Structure 1
Amino acid sequence: MSVETSVNTNLSADVAMISDLIRKAREAQRNYARYSQVQVDEVVTAAGWAIMHPAHNRLLAEMAVRDTGLGNVADKIQKNYRKTLGLLRDLKHAKTVGIIAEYPERGLVEIARPVGVVAAITPSTNPAATPANKIINALKGRNAVIVAPSPKGLSTCAALVAYIHAELAKVGAPLDLVQYLPGPITKQATQELMRQADLVVATGSQNNIRSAYASGSPAFGVGAGNVASIIDTSASLGEAAQQIASSKTFDNATSCSSENSVVILDSVYDSALAALTEAGGVLLNSEEKHHLQETMWPRGKLDSAVTAQSAPSIASLAGLTRPSVTQAKFLMVEEVGTGPDYPYSGEKLSPVLTVYRARNFDHACEIVNDIYGYLGAGHSVGIHTSDDGHILRLGNELPVCRVIVNQAHCFATGGSFENGLPFSLSMGCGTWGGNNLSENMNYRNFLNITRIVRRIPERVPSEEELFGEYLRKYG
């Protein structure tokens, strides 16, 4: 058999397999579309309990770490729990069936409608939490969903869907509302799923995001992370250091929202470094920094061997033997430049924190802007300060969709019980990050909205109202 014949045979098999999944999903979704809001919310609760059940949660976390080699069990348990709990809180009183809004003064009524069959593309970094989040949001909108896991995340996804099916059976909902691609997971099968689905929601590598946008189906994708945080002169240094440390080390920095760089103003630089050291960080010397760089980017590309590993494991791989380094919670390196020649200025997906020294706040903004000019534009920036003017300046000037103020970044960006952002594991990065949304992906992204439009009393503006001031000023 020729290579061409083999490729065509595999492609035909993928098309047939995906078509069968889509057919079953559509049949289940047509049934589900008739559910009342009460019934839908019961289905959503069932899917949420499937991952929040303590025994399920632990097993999913253990499988995720065992099969992907990324992160740690304790933090994945916490992530699965808190992200799902927060999402269910967000959805509890949200209307997604029938009339969801009325504007009598405008003559408009909004009715929620399903989008149909959702293709959920999910990463290996969060093989349970991210699929669960997308499944629950999709179900809230009376949709069916087919998950395309990463190859390493397949086993975790299969177990999650099995738990969800058991809960759906309890409430009498169609099991084919939630399906996943069977192994082996291939790019061809994932692309075919995206092509046949009604909506694609993609999280993961930028290759996945570009494929989603190129699939021919409507798609929501997210941008690359490379978060920087500023420690301002008015920051509470001890609190800022503890928040950065907890964010940087959580699940071995699998989150795209973990700080990759911290920009410290000169007048508090030494004190802030001391606080970060007290919080568990160790600053590498120039020789250690060089050895670590060769280990992390051996051929100019971030090596997967260091991704989401603990700081001591990374130090061991790099041959770093200083006792404080081998026991560190996270490693710190000082840097002065940005871009391809300065790989520490990019996303590291590991407990390695790049430290920049800024002369003043203007310089701090320049450094962050340069970092995002290289990688991470659109995502978010952190700031530790009591200066509202500095906070607003970041929101007005930097290419970011979120400014996280005095919070642990990876916990705050995706929604927190201490802020008002929707709980999500998929953060839109706007046009800066090549995305068509700038908010946290949420249930409204999984809805079509039909508008009933009634006549209202006519009001036609006069030319004076529209042009009077302009003409008086410019003639």
Structure 2
Amino acid sequence: MNGRDPDAARVRGEVAALVGRARAAQRAIDACDQSRADELAVAAAWAIVEPSRNRALAELAVRDTGMGDVDDKIAKNRRKTMGLLRDLAGARTAGVIAEDPARGLVEIARPVGVVAAITPSTNPGATPANNIVNALKARNAIVLAPSPKGASTLALLIGFVHAELDRIGAPRDLVQMLPMPVSREHTRELMRQADLVVATGSQNNVRAAYASGTPALGVGAGNVAAIVDETADVADAAEKIARSKTFDHATSCSSENSVIAVDAVADALVAALARHGGVRLSRDESARLERAMFPDDRLAPAFVAQSARAIAALAGLDREACRSARFLVVDVDGVGPDAPFSGEKLSPVLAFYRAPTFDAAAARAEALLRFQGAGHSVGLHSKLPERATRLGLALPVCRVIVNQAHCFATGGSYDNALPFSLSMGCGSWGGNSFSDNLNVRHFMNVTRVVHPLPPERVREPTEDELFGDYRRRHGI
């Protein structure tokens, strides 16, 4: 697409019309007070949380994407949106948000303008809702670019949001989406014309966001490994791993892809996972599943976010236990391209590794992360808190999740300190510009008003205060 291409001109014009309407709508709320910003966020949240709408969105998402589970999507839509509103309660996003008289500093929240949000087919309702609520809380307009499979779900969600905006007398053009059928050209042009890009989903879209010339927040790939050490409560770990691995057929990038069990508890963990529906495959079954799931050494889309029963059928696993499993457990030794189960699978298939010691398990987790998923997170089931700190000091991760069901904890939970989000920054390890969970602070600018301190409170340090210890230590 180039500047003289009539199709390029058409795409630019269509996107410019959307963005122009978004800018006009954003100007209408640019100076609104905190109570109005709060109302905008609550209105958008109610659009997905209202029970009949939530069910309609979940059913449409599963029908049109062919991925996930309706009841789990209903739970996810509700939990993620309710949790976000909990996080936003009392958050200041309009006007003066902080004052520090001692330092002469005043901070003022300002909108970024028009947000372009690129959203995935794995979470076509919850992820856009999270972006919309954050954007409106910070007094922005937002234009969303869904995956083609998720476009119908997003269109329904935006219709619900518009009904709530009508209810409170706010402009509908605060929340828009690209026209269907959504094209790559429209998405790339939206990235160029917006003021901020938020990209969740494929790494191709994330890379395009960072290359768009617009400030961008893109997230890294997941490939979560959970270590179960010799001190762990094995029954508790197995229940949490099973619950996390099977939720919404593992659509979350935070679901465990691998478990690394220290030898002392490995057999007990296999047995405990079996009690929660984890069926361990034979060597032959594992080979058949690998050939089916990874033709041409790439994950086949037909396996993504399917039930274990469907995966067993696709792979020709005829054993009754496989057809009735909640999830499938594959014994794995290697890491890397020659061991495809060591990567992200986005399905209820769990790679199982054994390690002689905790240190060996940590080394294996690092190898998995270096292969895929650097920066995202690692799990630990242990009674030794210092081991979690050791992982945080040594591994290329932005989160160490301790004794928790990973997919429910990494994206924020009522029982941990992380903000509710469906977009996890992976820092420089994951090629990202941020390392925390995407939250409302990422959707606003902050203007700082700086006053001079009175002369009696100003003091410059001496050279000896800053360099004295260093000079004496080295005889300078």
Q: Is contact 2:49-2:78 (8 Å) kept?
A: yes
1:175-217: CA deviations, max 9, x gaps?
A: 1000000111111100000000000000000000000000010
Q: Is contact 2:3-2:9 (8 Å) kept?
A: no
| CA deviation after TM superposition for structure 1 residue 6, in Å | 13
2-side partners of 1:7 and 1:455: how far apart?
53
Pair 1:461 & 2:461 matched: yes
Letter in 1 for 2:34: Q
Q: After superposition, where does 1:18-417 map in structure 2 within 5 Å? A: 18-417=15-414
| CA deviation after TM superposition for structure 1 residue 464, in Å | 1.2
1:268-296: CA deviations, max 9, x gaps?
A: 11111111111110110000000000110
| CA deviation after TM superposition for structure 1 residue 356, in Å | 0.4
Pair 1:438 & 2:468 matched: no
1:145-172: CA deviations, max 9, x gaps?
A: 0000100111100000000000001111
1:204 match: secondary structure: coil
- Unaligned regions of 5+ residues in structure 1, if any? none
| CA deviation after TM superposition for structure 1 residue 89, in Å | 0.6
2:363 match: secondary structure: helix
Equivalent of 2:7, from 10, 23, 31?
A: 10
2-side partners of 1:63 and 1:438: how far apart?
33
1:235-269: CA deviations, max 9, x gaps?
A: 11011000000000000000000000000001111
State percent identity of aligned pairs: 59
**Which moved further from structure 2: 8-17 or 214-223?**
8-17
2:67 match: secondary structure: coil
Letter in 2 for 1:467: F
2-side partners of 1:6 and 1:454: how far apart?
47
Q: Is contact 2:226-2:378 (8 Å) kept?
A: yes
- Unaligned regions of 5+ residues in structure 2, if any? none
1-side partners of 2:65 and 2:151: how far apart?
10
2-side partners of 1:347 and 1:162: how far apart?
34
TM-score with structure 1 length normalisation? 0.98
Relative to 1, partners in 2 of residues 1:188 and 1:451: Cα closer, same or farther, differing over 3 Å? same
2-side partners of 1:5 and 1:164: how far apart?
35
| CA deviation after TM superposition for structure 1 residue 420, in Å | 1.0
1:64-114: CA deviations, max 9, x gaps?
A: 000000101000000000000000011111000011111122211100000
1:260 match: secondary structure: strand
- For the aligned residue pairs, the C-alpha RMSD in angstroms reads 1.1
| CA deviation after TM superposition for structure 1 residue 8, in Å | 2.2
Letter in 1 for 2:272: A
| CA deviation after TM superposition for structure 1 residue 9, in Å | 2.6
1-side partners of 2:438 and 2:102: how far apart?
30
Letter in 2 for 1:341: D
1-side partners of 2:13 and 2:410: how far apart?
40
TM-score with structure 2 length normalisation? 0.98
**Which moved further from structure 2: 5-14 or 187-196?**
5-14
2-side partners of 1:399 and 1:105: how far apart?
38
2-side partners of 1:34 and 1:355: how far apart?
54
